[in-house]
Amino acid sequence: MKEEEPESVEYGYVRVSGKSQNEERQLYAMEKAGIARERLYIDKQSGKDFNRPEYQRLLRKLREGDALFVQSIDRLGRNYEEILEHWGLLTRKKKVDIVVLDFPLLDTRGRGEDQSLTGKFLADMVLQILAYVAQKERENIRQRQAEGIAVAKASGKRWGRKKKNLPPDFPALYTAWKNGEISEGQLLEVCGMKRSTLYKRLQEKRACQRE
């Protein structure tokens, strides 16, 4: 006899921003919440949008009455408008409950219709505030970075690799190379440059001499 599927299933979603980051803290939180390992979906990708392979797989898997657990709202996503869009998609269209472990008010589950409705209402309000704060902080970080770069440029600091100039004794080295006394490889080694960089500096030098 075929075993019946449970009426509702609890899933967990884990996300870290890159492959070098560790998801163990989130996995531990899921284990404490009682989420089975085979029902965990893990993405190692930025939360700037929802085009993530494991999240999309989970979205197709979820059915009405299921519950989705995330450790924190920023693990679900970081874009204010898209968080609200997907929260609505999950809770209203797919009729899935969402549980944010580190913020108990973001728990749409309830015992009975009235409590469930109240839980969803409170969660929606809190979510709008938190999603806005997450998006605002993301924008503030970008603004601070831009301001820092602008200040550094204004104070004369250079970004990227420092430009390599030809050594002071280059005219003698250049003559030796043209006369076949040293090889191109030796010239590059003494100048500490790649071939492309050396020729670029030569072009700049010739352009300055013509001016």
CATH number at residue 132: 3.40.50.1390
SS3 category, 107 = strand
Q: What is the DSSP letter of 24?
A: H
Condensed to tens digits (0 to 9), the pLDDT of residues 15-66 reads 998 777 889 999 999 999 999 999 999 999 888 889 999 999 999 999 999 9
Q: Are residues 64 and 115 in the same domain?
A: yes
Record the tokens describing residue 190, joined without a space: 């003494």
177 and 126 in one domain? Answer: no
End position of a domain, from candidates 114, 138, 162: 138
The closest of 193, 199, 206 to 163, measured between CA atoms, is 193
> Are residues 171 and 194 in contact, defined by beta-carbon separation less than 8 angstroms?
no
158, part of any domain: no
User: Within a domain: residue 46?
Assistant: yes
The stretches of 47-169 forming alpha helices (DSSP H) are 53-61, 73-76, 80-88, 113-154
Phi, psi angle pair for 157, to nearest 5°? -75, 140
Please compute, for residue 207, the number of CA atoms within 13 A of its CA located in the half-sphere on the CB side.
Answer: 6
51 lies in the same domain as 112: yes
Into how many domains does the chain fold?
Answer: 2
- pLDDT score for 156: 64
Residue 191 DSSP SS3:
helix
Of 95, 117, 138, which residue sits at a domain end? 138
Indicate whether 5 belongs to any domain. Answer: no
Selecting among 17, 46, 72, 116, the annotated active-site residue is 17
Considering the domain architecture, whether residues 57 and 119 belong to the same structural domain is answered as yes
Residue 161 lies in a domain: no
Residue 46 annotated as catalytic: no
87 and 129 in a single domain? The answer is: yes
Q: What pLDDT does residue 158 have?
A: 59
Instruction: Report yes or no: 130 and 102 within 8 Å, Cβ to Cβ.
Output: no
From CA 30, how far away is CA 70, in angstroms rounded? 8
In a domain? residue 155: no
Quick check: is 163 in a domain? no
**Residue carrying the six token digits 């029902």:** 39
- Kindly report, residue by residue over 67-86, the tens digit of the pLDDT: 999 998 889 887 778 888 89
Whole-structure pTM value: 0.59
CA dihedral 100, 101, 106, 112 (to 10 degrees): 110
> Which carries the bigger pLDDT value, residue 42 or residue 147?
42
With respect to residue 97, please indicate whether it lies within any of the assigned structural domains: yes
Q: Do 111 and 181 reside in the same domain of the chain?
A: no
Structural domain that includes position 186: 170-210
